[in-house]
Amino acid sequence: MALHLWMVTLTLAAFLAMDRGVQVGAQRRISPKMPICEHMAESPKCPQTPKPICGTDGVTYRNECHLCVTRIKTQQDIQIKKDGKC
């Protein structure tokens, strides 16, 4: 009985993790993730640190800040599709 409950718990945890778009591995996300752009001004200075991310628009951005700048300028709902290049 205890083994059965443990299996049910693990299965539920796996479904909840997938539903939230939790990162799996270092380079892949299960589903698009909303970038954190709320703290940014109209024309922020982004760090040039390369940490490429793939946007849901099919464009590879240098980092999340550059994706946010594009979101602000174009007013499009671009999300993070995955870490790394598209």
Domains and CATH numbers, the chain: 52-85 (3.30.60.30)
Low-confidence stretches of the chain (pLDDT beneath 50): 4, 6-8, 10, 12-13, 15-27, 29
DSSP string, 5-64: HHHHHHHHHHHHHHHTT-EETTTEESS-B----TT--SSPPPP-----EEETTSPEESSH
Q: What is the predicted pLDDT for the residue at 17?
A: 47
| Contacting residues for 70 by C-beta, under 8 A, at least 6 apart | 55, 59, 61, 76, 78
Q: What is the predicted pLDDT for the residue at 31?
A: 67
Q: Is the pTM of this model over 0.85?
A: no
